[in-house]
Amino acid sequence: MTAYARGDTAAFRELFERYAPMLLRMLLRQLRVREEATDLLQQTFLQLHRARLDFDSGQRFRPWIFTIALNLKREYWRRARRRPESVLDDAALAELGVEARGAKRWEARRDLLHGLAQVRPDQREVIELHWFEGLSFSEIGECLGLTANAVKVRAHRGYVTLRERLGDDLPPLEEGASNRPATAGIDPKSIP
């Protein structure tokens, strides 16, 4: 980012290639319409461009760009005065390009997304950033303006709700464990 702020356009291309796919995945999970998610992704990088001279090189880049994308997503929902649909059915998953690798896996994926949709939005946001995007609790805290401990509390409460919704498909939460649920062999990164 520092190189891009100094005018290196190749650095921007590198940032885009590295972060656009994970930001698009995050946006698609909430918006579920590729055109809207792509539009917010473009707005994210436009904001990055506008703020390039304000970027603090002592700051970590990943939480910074995720914060931009999350703020744009929140603004989108405020403007639209609507909430994301709570369940992705089989047709919607197929439309997003999620390929079924067997009926059991497809069903588990649908159940997981349905379970996540029932988690409070602030807790779901933390779970998605940690589990799907691989951000650490401290990075999520930077994105959301929270302490790492507050993020852990939200994640824990969200996982408890997921456990209630999904039953025995989640392993027990253990002290010091990663707290990332493993649901029926689903690789979280395979879910858009």
**Predicted confidence (pLDDT) per residue in 111-168, tens digit:** 777 788 788 888 888 888 888 888 889 989 888 888 999 999 999 998 888 888 887 5
Query: How sure is the predictor about 17, in pLDDT bands with cuts at 50, 70 and 90?
Result: very high
- The C-alpha atoms of residue 74 and residue 23 are separated, in whole angstroms, by 14
CB–CB of 162/119 below 8 Å? yes
Q: Which residues of 163-174 are buried (b: 16+ CB within 10 A; e: fewer)?
A: bebbeebbeeee
71 token code pair: 């703020």
What pLDDT, on a 0 to 100 scale, did the predictor assign at position 23?
Answer: 93
How many residues does this entry show for the chain? 192
Q: Does residue 155 or residue 172 have the better pLDDT?
A: 155
Q: Whole-angstrom Cα distance, residue 183 to residue 173?
A: 13
Mean pLDDT of the chain: 77
Question: What torsion, rounded to 10 degrees, do the Cα atoms 69, 71, 74, 78 define?
Answer: -130
Residue 45 has pLDDT above 70, yes or no: yes
Q: Answer yes or no: is pLDDT of 94 > 80.
A: no
Position 56, amino acid: D
Query: Nearest-CA neighbor of 110 among 181, 161, 166, 155?
Result: 166
- Helices (H), strands (E): how many in the chain? 9, 0
| pTM (whole model) above 0.75 | no
Residue 173 tokens read as 């939460």
pLDDT band at 175 (very low <50, low <70, confident <90, very high): very low
Structure tokens at 44: 């994210």
Q: pLDDT-based confidence at 176, cuts 50/70/90?
A: very low
Task: Read off the pLDDT band of 24 (50, 70, 90).
Answer: very high
CA separation for the pair 36, 75 (Å, rounded): 13
- Residue for token digits 């946006």? 27
